[in-house]
């Protein structure tokens, strides 16, 4: 066995024990031979199976408004992109889509929007989304994740009261300079603090980073440390995909190997957390490699023919019906995996929410 492989073995033996150093993480992110990569992915799958068995969670995605007051450099839906596909779905349309997703077998409904200026017109109360959470909960009984961008602390409490379980808000990077270049004119600290507030309100939190936007391996290692410090329950990475009409339109998309290595390293660092394999970047053809790198959630399942968009790939595979539970299950089966039951997922969420310290009942000024 050569010296390089021995070093990798030494690091992988520590995987899942909280003792990986920043140097170890950087080493893992730089490996590139097929032997080394297979050892990394195998270790990640082994850890995933230890904590979750052969069960995979499935998330339905409803992007209910593509209007946004922000101007993120990488995003197709940025305020200044007049070539983007804009819509606002009505509450009835969203509930109908959520019901279809629930019937198809997803475990969670993710209600996502840009920071739609309309949401901030009612004294920042987000009453449309709050009513939507209640409606979707009532009609599906499923866990709900909300991804509306930065909101006030009392709005987070209103989300909890309405029945939300999760709050997703991606920093994209913990390199402050890169953050300034990606999330133009936005407040790095406010974005981070909002996630802490969500945790204090009893919401599970999803954190995410982008790869292929100019980050270094040490930026990535630092981001992982910050995700750990945050206490995120779900940790996501997505590859940058250049979008028409944005300042980053001419940049190239990175090799998917980077995303796969990050998924695997996240699994080593967060063995019992949820890690998505998003259909949003490469559609159904990109599912297998992400699951085999250690992911345990399939995200961005979207009902076809309802005019709903994705984020990084606004239309990819949606109307062809491949981004459905029916499209995903045969792929999982070929990998020796299966969808978890609804009860499995509900029990996981209940247990994790039970660990969070609630501060409810003491909050003044809730919008409702």
75/329 with CB nearer ligand SF4: 75
Dihedral class, residue 110 (left if φ above 0, else alpha if ψ from -120 to 50, else beta): beta
Determine if 182 is a binding residue for ligand SF4 (CB under 6 A).
no
- What are the tokens at 150? 């930065």
Helix (H, G, I), strand (E, B) or coil at 268: helix
**CA angle in degrees (0–180, nearest 5) for 179-181-185:** 80
Could you say whether residue 114 binds ligand SF4 (CB under 6 A)?
yes
* Alpha-carbon gap, residue 160 to 42, rounded angstroms: 38
> By C-beta, is 68 or 221 nearer to ligand SF4?
68
Out of 8, 20, 44, 68, the residue judged to bind ligand SF4 by CB under 6 A: 68
Kindly indicate which of the ranges 42-50, 51-59, 68-76, 250-258 contains the residues binding ligand SF4, using the contact rule CB under 6 A.
68-76
Site size for ligand SF4, by CB under 6 A? 9
Using CB under 6 A as the binding rule, the residues of this chain from 70 to 99 that contact ligand SF4 are: 70, 72, 75, 77-78
43 is an interface residue for ligand SF4 by CB under 6 A: no
- Report the distance separating Cα 128 and Cα 158, nearest Å: 12
User: According to CB under 6 A, which one of 149, 208, 286, 303 is a site residue for ligand SF4?
Assistant: 149
Nearer to ligand SF4 (CB atom), residue 51 or residue 67: 67
213 Cβ contact partners less than 8 Å away, ≥ 6 residues apart? 74, 172, 173, 178, 182, 240, 248
Please count the other Cβ atoms lying within 10 Å of the Cβ belonging to residue 206.
26
Query: Based on CB atoms, which residue is closest to ligand SF4, 114 or 283?
Result: 114
Return the residues of window 301-340 that contact ligand SF4 according to CB under 6 A: none
CB 234 within 8 Å of CB 274: yes
Q: Do residues 197 and 156 make contact, with C-beta atoms less than 8 angstroms apart?
A: yes
What is the helix (H) or strand (E) element at residue 338, kind and residue range? strand 338-339
- Of the candidates 325, 334, 366, the one whose C-alpha atom is nearest the C-alpha of residue 58 is 325
- What backbone phi and psi angles, to 5 degrees, belong to 63? -90, 95
Residue 148 lies near ligand SF4 (rule: CB under 6 A):
no
Closest approach, Cβ 306 to ligand SF4, in A, equals 19
With CB under 6 A as the contact rule, the residue among 24, 110, 115, 215 that binds ligand SF4 is 115
Confirm or reject binding of residue 178 to ligand SF4 (CB under 6 A). no
Retrieve residue 65's tokens.
């408004």
Dihedral, 226, 76, 287, 64 alpha carbons, nearest 10: 90
CB 93 within 8 A of CB 135: no
- Residue 78 beta carbon to ligand SF4: minimum distance, rounded to whole angstroms: 4
Residue 228 Cβ vs ligand SF4, minimum distance, rounded to whole Å: 24
Candidates 66-74, 132-140, 264-272, 354-362; binding stretch for ligand SF4 (CB under 6 A):
66-74
- For ligand SF4, the binding residues in 184-223 under the rule CB under 6 A are none
Query: In whole angstroms, how close is the CB of 76 to ligand SF4 at the nearest point?
Result: 7
CB of 72 to ligand SF4, least distance (A): 3
111 part of the interface to ligand SF4, by CB under 6 A: no
Give me the least distance between CB of 244 and ligand SF4, in Å please. Answer: 14
* 4 versus 253: smaller Cβ distance to ligand SF4: 253
Cβ-count burial 357-367 (b if 16+ within 10 Å, e if not): eeeeeebeebb
Summarize as ranges the residues that interact with ligand SF4 (CB under 6 A). Answer: 68, 70, 72, 75, 77-78, 114-115, 149
């Amino acid at each position: 066995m050569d010296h390089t492989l021995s070093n990798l073995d030494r690091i992988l033996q520590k995987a899942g024990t909280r003792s990986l150093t920043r140097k170890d993480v950087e080493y893992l992110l730089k490996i590139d031979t097929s032997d080394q990569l297979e050892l990394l992915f195998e270790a990640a799958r082994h850890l995933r199976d230890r904590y979750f068995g052969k069960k995979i969670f499935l998330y339905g995605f409803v992007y209910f408004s593509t209007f946004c007051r922000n101007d993120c450099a990488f995003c197709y839906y940025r305020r200044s992109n007049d070539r983007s596909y804009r819509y606002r779905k009505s509450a009835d349309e969203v509930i109908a889509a959520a019901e279809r997703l629930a019937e198809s077998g997803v475990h969670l409904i993710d209600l996502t929007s840009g920071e739609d200026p309309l949401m901030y017109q009612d004294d920042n109360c987000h009453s449309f989304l709050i009513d939507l959470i209640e409606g979707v909960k009532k009609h599906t009984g499923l866990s709900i994740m909300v991804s509306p961008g930065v909101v006030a602390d009392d709005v987070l409490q209103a989300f909890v009261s309405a029945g939300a379980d999760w709050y997703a808000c991606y920093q994209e990077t913990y390199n402050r300079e890169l953050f300034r270049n990606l999330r133009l004119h936005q407040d790095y600290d406010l974005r981070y603090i909002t996630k802490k507030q969500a945790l204090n309100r009893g919401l599970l939190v999803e954190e995410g980073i982008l790869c292929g936007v100019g980050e270094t391996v040490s930026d990535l290692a630092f981001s992982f440390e910050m995700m750990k410090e945050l206490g995120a329950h779900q940790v996501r990475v997505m590859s940058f995909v250049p979008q028409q009409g944005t300042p980053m339109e001419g940049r190239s998309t990175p090799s998917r190997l980077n995303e796969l290595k990050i998924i695997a390293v996240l699994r080593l660092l967060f063995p019992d957390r949820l890690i998505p394999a998003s259909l949003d970047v490469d559609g159904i053809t990109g599912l297998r490699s992400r699951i085999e790198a250690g992911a345990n959630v399939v995200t961005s399942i979207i009902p076809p023919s309802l005019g709903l968009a994705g984020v990084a790939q606004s239309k990819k595979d949606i109307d062809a019906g491949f981004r459905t539970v029916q499209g995903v299950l045969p792929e999982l089966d070929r990998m020796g995996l299966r969808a978890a039951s609804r009860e499995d997922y509900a029990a996981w969420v209940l247990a994790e929410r039970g660990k969070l310290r609630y501060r409810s009942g003491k909050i003044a000024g809730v919008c409702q």
